Chains A and B, each alone.
Chain A
């Protein structure tokens, strides 16, 4: 297996537009930790109502490993939706979330429980950088997105019907000119409309 196991997936605000100020609490780790309020503000209300089928996303990317995902029809629709990127770190070559990222997961849970977001459902999309084999990266990104969804829907009591895990491996880099850059390792949260 190749060297990169994407030590972590980054969840950055696209364009790094997030109001940087991390809330420093006991045990808080990195300075730029995202807060509940930032997540609520970032994910409130879909800008455009598009029906996105998580299964269609996976089918498209599975059929096009190594070819990029931005031009795939269902993936192309994601760009129009309300979304946010957050930093979550994992153990090396594993789907276990490291303690330094526990707070971020908790903040996501707080936001998802808040009445302002309670009626929406979301995609959890895992991304890696391009180090290593594309098909392995795709599997790892999906497994990590699933680990996040599993934690949120059990330990953090978010209704399972509100979250859908999807992986896209290295196929949608934020910085295509530097495919191995850390900024490409991330997970997107995408508002895909109201729960029915």
Chain B
């Protein structure tokens, strides 16, 4: 009973911590999920207004914005949301090593110097790694 209760409490604390970490930084999505949302909400508009437009240089996104008056409002909304969360994810990916430098120095001594090995070490040491570093790894999509 006590064990159950302890588990419940630590679970609740973890949930709160996750929410806190989430609110500290913008939520991020993977490119894959972002593209699924875009295909779902903008796929029809792409076929109607932007057929043949390349994905490169954000061409499809720009084309949809240029046709904003005709494109479905849901698509425009999704485009903005996707853009913001992808920007947050890229920022998190770029910042992980810097944010986690102190943690890596403390926790990952002797680990072969490579981003992949350091990440692996930080993931294993998650319970002892700073909140900031853990949040950066989560937002980078590397957990």
Contact = CB atoms under 8 A, between A and B. Distances in A.
A65 B74 CA distance: 47
A154 interface: yes
Q: Which of B38, B40, B42, B55 has the largest number of chain A CB atoms within 10 A? A: B55
Contact of A110 (B52, B55, B141): B141
Most chain B CB neighbours (cut-off 10 Å) among A28, A97, A110: A110
Interface stretch (A12-20, A47-55, A98-106, A177-185): A98-106
A25 B35 CA distance: 10
B54 A95 contact: yes
Given A102-B38, A106-B36, A156-B31, A150 B141 contact: no
Give the interface size bracket for B toward A: 35 or more
Interface in A136-186: 147, 150-151, 153-157
Contacts of A23: 32
B37 to A, nearest CB: 6
B31 A27 contact: no
B126 interface: no
A116 interface: yes
A103 B35 contact: yes
Contacts of A104: 32
B53 A96 contact: yes
A150 B56 contact: yes
A155 B58 contact: yes
Range for the number of chain A residues in contact with chain B = 35 or more
B71 interface: no
A129 interface: no
Contacts of A109: 31-32
Given A27-B39, A96-B54, A155-B55, A118 B115 contact: yes
Interface of A: 23, 25-29, 35-36, 91, 94-97, 99-100, 102-107, 109-110, 113-116, 118-119, 147, 150-151, 153-157
18 contacts: A25-B32, A26-B40, A27-B38, A27-B40, A99-B43, A100-B43, A102-B38, A103-B32, A103-B33, A104-B32, A106-B34, A107-B31, A107-B32, A119-B115, A147-B56, A150-B55, A150-B56, A155-B61
Given A27-B40, A103-B32, 13 more contacts: A25-B36, A28-B36, A94-B52, A100-B39, A100-B43, A106-B33, A109-B31, A115-B119, A147-B55, A150-B56, A150-B57, A151-B54, A155-B61
